[in-house]
Each structure stands twice: as C-alpha cells, then as structure tokens.
Amino acid sequence: MGLLVATVVAGGLGGLGVAPAGAASVRVSQGETLSELAARYHTTVAALAAGNGIRDPNRVVAGQVLQIPGPAPATTAGATPGTVVVAPGESLWTISERTGVTVAALAAANGIRDPNRVQAGQVLRVPAGSGSPGGTAGPGGMVLASATAPLPSGGSSRLPAQLRSSPPRLALRPVFAHFAAAWGVPANLLEGMCWWESGWQSTIVSSTGAIGIGQLEPSTVTFVEQDLLGGARLDPRVPSQNIEMAAAYLHWLLARAGGSESRALAGYYQGAASVAAHGMYPETKLYVTGILATSALFAG
C-alpha cells in the first residue's frame, strides 16, 4: 500500500456507504483524501474505511457523507507487544505518527526499502527508544515561518498527506527553502531527508540523543557549530536553527562525497568516515534508497 495521494473522485455517491443519521459525520469535499480526513479528525484511514464500507481507500467520492469513528488504538488485531499490524491504506508515516517512532527506525527495523509500500496485514516490529514525540521544546518555543507564508511553487499535491494536513509543519517549507539556498543544497533533498528522519517533528529525541527535525546527534551539533558556523551557538531544539544546521552538515557531506547525494546521505546516517572505510552497511542502503524516493515527493 502506497502513501495515499489519490484525490477524491468527482460525482455522486456511487452506492458507497453513507453515515447513519445522528452519527458524527463529515461530507467529503472535492479533492480530499481519507488520509487528510483521518488526520483532521484524529482517527486512521483504516478506521474510516472500515466504518464506511470503503473497499478502496484511494477512491472516495466528493459529496459522500462519512461516519467518523473514535480514535483508533495504537495497535490492531494480530499485533503482539512491540509490533503493529499495517491497516489498509496505511504508510510508514501514519504508523510513525501513531507509534511515536521515526520512519527511519521503522524501516531499518523491518528491512523496508520503500516506505510508501507496506502491505495491509503486514506485522511490523516497533523498535523501543527510537524517538518520542514527548521531548522538550527549546527555550523560547518553536521559531517557525508565518503559517500564512507562501509555499514554494510546484509539487504541493504530491507532498505526504500527513504534511499537507499539518499547517505548522507546512509553515516550515520556506525555512527549508531559505537554508537550502544559503548552503547550496537541493531543497527537496534536505526536506526529504528531514521528513524521513523525523516527519518534521521538532520534539523528537532518539535513544542516542539525536534531536529534532534533522535528528542531529550532539557530536554533530558541536561539529557544525565549531567547524562550519565559525563558533556560532545554535539550539537544535528550535526548528529553524535545527534546519540550518542540517543544511550546513548536508552541504559539507555533499562536498566530501564529490556531489554524490547517495554517499552524502550515507554519511549523514552512518558517518562519513565509516562510509569511506567500510562502504555502506545494509541498513544504510535502505536509508539512502528511502530518502531518495521521499525527496522526489518534494521536488518542484
């Protein structure tokens, strides 16, 4: 099952289920997807599909009235402790958001090359300590672009559904564009890498202490501040400053890798010296493949 980007089909109800009278419900607008509705009403694509008799979650009809179920539990039937069962229409991003574990950690733990392609009914291991949305915000709170700031043109309809339904995270796109231009790195590569790392969640802290949107290790923060920013002190818990450091580090990795995006990404994950000495580990190859596929969603 891929990441849900299919739009609502124009037309009548076509025989699909309609919410019973008195139930919490919503009428589908033109262009909406089940992913967007699930995010808006704090439920899942699987629960919406099951509650409304929808066989194909990629195909819903404009004007259809859908019953809104209550919030879904963190695991589904067939799961054992430490695992989840993939529901119809889910992607690693939806699973990441309901488990609090990063896409990168889920993919590595389950040998997944393409995070857009997981199968309904597949049992995934959820690694412990791979990131928690319950981290601490930086001093002074989040520094974001204006929520009404214009987004970079092109490709917006291809963005991950979880991003399109989150105005605070969408407001970060101009920040990514600014620092990508300042450091001469492809904006879509920077965006895709950070989306894979954290889903652009600024409060995630990994079990190794990697912080925020770019999942920057403390040693990486020190290196970037001292060697790339001339001793400037930035706070990786502040989104804009985390993005700036991620852009600076990616620039350095691309230069070291002779412009190779694959080797630069491998260095971000495995360490540039380790990649030079040992080549890419199998989990590093999964990481690189996943980010390159994800970056295509951000290309304008």
Segment 107-155, tens digit of pLDDT: 878 888 766 677 777 888 888 754 433 332 222 222 333 333 333 434 4
Domain range for residue 161? 156-298
Which whole number is the average pLDDT over 13-34?
Answer: 56
Cβ neighbours of 96 (radius 10 Å): 27
Q: Answer whether residue 280 is part of any domain.
A: yes
- Name the nearest CA neighbour of 61 among 101, 111, 6: 6
pLDDT at residue 37, rounded to an integer: 76
Higher pLDDT, 147 or 300: 300
DSSP string computed for 113-128: S-TT---TT-EEE--T
Q: Answer whether residue 135 is part of any domain.
A: no
Q: What are phi and psi of 126, to 5 degrees?
A: -105, 105
Instruction: Give the Cα separation of 197 and 57 in Å (integer).
Output: 26
276: CATH? 1.10.530.10
Distances (CA, A) of 251 to 211, 231, 247, 273, 274: 19, 17, 6, 16, 18
113: CATH? 3.10.350.10
Segment 166-218, tens digit of pLDDT: 889 999 999 999 999 999 999 999 999 999 998 898 888 887 889 999 999 99
Instruction: Give the Cα separation of 60 and 9 in Å (integer).
Output: 6
pLDDT at residue 160, rounded to an integer: 84
Q: Answer whether residue 61 is part of any domain.
A: yes
% residues pLDDT > 90 (the chain): 36
Q: Answer whether residue 214 is part of any domain.
A: yes
Same domain, 46 and 169: no
Higher pLDDT, 10 or 75: 75
Q: Answer whether residue 264 is part of any domain.
A: yes
Q: Answer whether residue 3 is part of any domain.
A: yes
pLDDT at residue 15, rounded to an integer: 31
pLDDT at residue 17, rounded to an integer: 34
% residues pLDDT > 70 (the chain): 73
Which whole number is the average pLDDT over 220-232?
Answer: 94
pLDDT at residue 118, rounded to an integer: 78
Q: Answer whether residue 55 is part of any domain.
A: yes
